[in-house]
Structures are given as C-alpha cells and as structure tokens.
Structure 1
C-alpha cells in the first residue's frame, strides 16, 4: 500500500498490530502516528478474522509509512498471520488440526503473494498455543510482545526460541529453514514496536519486505534504540544475516556490532549450542568477534541480551556450508 521510492536498505516494521477493528484499544490513525514517532518504516494490520481494517489502513499509507494488509487467522488450534493479502481478502479461520484443511488455507496466502507466519506458538491461553506444525508455515513469530509488556522477554518467548532453534538444526542442512520474526502484537498504548523486525529489502514495498522476511534477511529488535550488524566470514568469503557461507575446512569468524544495550551480552549460537559469549561495555556500544569451528555447526546466529537475561536483539542464522556444492 502506497509503496515508496526508498531503495535498498534495512527497514524497521511491526508485523502484528491490532486496532479498534478487532480487539485493540487504538485507532489506525493513532497507531500510524505512533509508528512514525518511533521511526518505524512499515506496519502490518492483522485483525482477528476480519478485513474491515484494510480500507482505513490503506488510506493512511504514505511515502514514510508502508502498510502491509493482513489478518490474524484465529482458530481453536492456534493463531497464524497472513501477511500481504489483497485489500478486502479474508482467509477462513474455520479450520483445525484434525480436518486437514490448513494446507489449503496456506496456499490461498501463497497464491496471493503473501507470507504465512506461525504466531506466538506458546501464548498462555487455550487458543493461543499453536497445535499446527511449525513446518507448515513460511516463518515463525519467535518473539511476541503482547504478554510481556511489563517485561520485554518471557518464558513463552524462550520456549518458542528453543523450538525454532531445534528446527534450524534439522532444516538448515536441507537448505530450507523457517526464519524468525518478532512483533509487538499491539493491543494497547505504548506496546507498538516492542519488539519489531528489521528487514533488509531492495526497496520499501510490500513485495520486497515480504521477500526479505521469507529469505530470513532480518533480525528482531526489542526497541528502535537497539542496533545490530551481524556477519560471518571464512576463507575470504563473507555472509550477512540469512545468507549462506561456504566455509571449507577453516574456522568461521563471526562478528556482531551492537548499539543500545548497556552492559549487555552477545552470544553466538550454532547447532551445537552457544559457541561464544562476551560482555558489552556500559555504553551499550561495542563489537564482538569469535572464531568458530565449522564441524557440526550448520549455522551461526546471534543473541544480544540485557543484563537481566531478557532479549534485546535476535538474529536469523547464517547457514554454514562445507563446500560450494
């Protein structure tokens, strides 16, 4: 909606937002104003089982704020996000694990050029816990902010992170893995953007943003004050978040540059677990580098945590390949 002329770059956006058109307390106008004040580049409207907000949101899109139309498909067996729907398009939510119709609903999203995201897999209420398999979706909402408005990270998110990491160890060697996203699931004031997803895209358009999310060229920020750059290199080659690095027989050099996390910690994780951890200075700005043996690693990803242990930033992995084949 109202796609902009902005070129290649990293764009910040909240992919899970509710307004008064379902069970949120704020109007689209207030949410759009808050997004601009925070410095977000895009928002996704994801009301529960309705497309009524599409038209009001479409009118609010402008050069400085991209709007992605979507829906939170809210079933008795869990919730999932349909992002990038045509205006007025509604995905039927009357399906469950037992009836075998999820695949048909997901195809509707794919055929429309959209992205299907497993939402808050461990949300602490009966219909919020996802019973559908994570492997059915394009991406996983590993970090959801709704149930942690007073705490930026909680046990439900920690459980989703553990599930996602285990899946990565199986999926990355096969060449197809499900990226992580983070969203506020905003319903009330002062929730927007906590957390949000930072996406590398060729331009600020719905198609480009969804492509970046689908490819895993993204990381999750606990707030707009947090900045992260994460790369890995080996044998003269370099890869960014979501990319594939051919490592050969040598070590992998992982590097994270962080701002906005005073006295935090940076951890590099592989399929074998945490490979390296280092502290950030009190200023919250610093760089951490580590040499990681590639044997059994399969991938490397980064976590940045506050001194309390709460997450501040979480990156999608860089896949590690032993050969160019």
Structure 2
C-alpha cells in the first residue's frame, strides 16, 4: 500500500462527534494502512453480535458483562487475523470503561481479535487482547503525531505487520458447525428472494431482502441458532420489517450441524408475536402506502429456512407467514435464500 506524506492534516475537534471521528480520522488511517472492504485485507463495519454478552457459554449476568452497541471496525489481515477499533467522540476520555468495552468485543468468540484500539480523534491507544484491558498499551499516539510517528502505527497495525507478529492463530477446539466451518460462524452477507405469495400482489413476488450480517452457533442445548439482520429495499418496507421483528431475528434448528447434503437439508424455524398499537402508521402491502392502523393489531410471524451448505454458501428455500390475528388475515410468502459465512 502507498501513503502520501502529511496525510493527517491539522483538525479542530471542538465540534466533532463520534461519527466524525470514524469518517475523518479512522477511515483515512485504515485506508493508509492497506485495508479495504471486500479484499483480502478486509474491513467490517459495525458488526452485530448474536449473543449480547462478552463471553459465550458463561451466561451468568453477574459475571458476564453486557456488550453495549457494536464494534465500529473489525480489520482482517488476509481474512484471518483480526483487530478491532472502537471510536469515541473527542470529548469522551479513553478511560477504563472505554478500554473495557473495546476489549469485550476483541475477546468475544465471534471476533477473536489479537489487538483492540480506542480512538477519540485526539488520541489512538492500542492494546494486546490476550494481556487484558488492564495491561499497558502497546501504542499510544496523539493525532498531531500521526504523521511523524506513522511508521510506528504501520509497524504494529498494517496487514503485513499483523501477520508477521501473529503467525499462529489460536486453534479452534469446538465442534465445527458445518464442513469447513468453525464452531461459531459469522454471516457476512446474503439475500432472501420471494417469488410467490398467498395474495395477488405482484410486488411481493419480486421482493428481495438483503441479509446484512449475522451469526451461526449453538445454544446451551446444542441446537443450531441463526441470528440475522436484514435490510429491506425501501424505507417503508424496512419500517414494517422492524415492527414485525423481521429486521433482526433468531431462528433455531434441532440439528447440531448444518448439512452439506441437499437430500437431507437443515431447517431453521422462528416465531414471534408482535402487537401494534392503534394509530401507528405502517405500510399497507395491498396499496403499498403507509396507513394508520385503525385498532390494536396482533401479528404472529412465522419463518422457516431449509437448505444445505456448499463451501461457504448456505442456501435453500425460505418461507414467511404473517398471521394478522386481529383482522383474520394470513399472508404467506415463499422463495429462496442464500447466505455467505466465514
């Protein structure tokens, strides 16, 4: 990767917020180091985690800290060795609380990062994960020194440096979820495409929902659990999906392993009941316009995905059923899905 001199121009932090720090400070630094989304040195932004506590399998609320928010950046050197960055606003101190938060993401089994960093724009601080959040930082640099000390940052965090200093990855000792996969799997992206419905609404038969992120793992009983976040093609449809609990949901399978045999597929199912208050405005899929609900409405949502694994692609058929009990109306949608996992 090539970097021009004086990349980090003087900047006033007085009116900047956390989003500004991500865009004005961290994004240029990450690009300068040689990371790009969709490449072998990948960038993952705002990765959601299925289990909202720091350590899977130790579900004791008194011992297992809750994760607040989601990791701002996960950087992957050769798609294998990771480090994470947590952004803060300039007026937020990099204190024990901020360091602990970044550490919990880095140490989470879905992430397994070798380093974690916190940056409030004014300062970048980097720690080694396996030494814990109370250890001394590996690197601590003020923003005004980014240019003069850039080689120190590069020597620690550039992809080749990450790979040089971390040649061996902690071995995976859990039972693989599927052929070629780990015991905890991240869903990188995917798509749910509908091609049929129980009602004569052509738009529903052409609807596609993007899978933006998620995870596959096992629960305490050894069942497979899929957690997915989705993005609808329009704002009104996204709002409807959020209210119906379909923008972020869990599905369960009695199996303990994803099948690689198309003749013996794995089925995930989920169900939830949502009550919508009278007066709330939602998309009417019959007219494709937002309307106010005339009365309290209860909707039972059922969804199922049946498929098999081919390499890192899990795909098959998908069905959603929306049972509007208050109106005695039941709408079924069916189609196909594919998810890419790593």
TM-score normalised over the length of structure 2: 0.23
Q: Which protein has the larger Cα radius of gyration, Structure 1 or Structure 2?
A: 2
TM-score normalised over the length of structure 1: 0.24
**Structure of greater relative contact order (alpha carbons < 8 Å, 6+ residues apart):** 1
Structure with bigger strand share is: 2
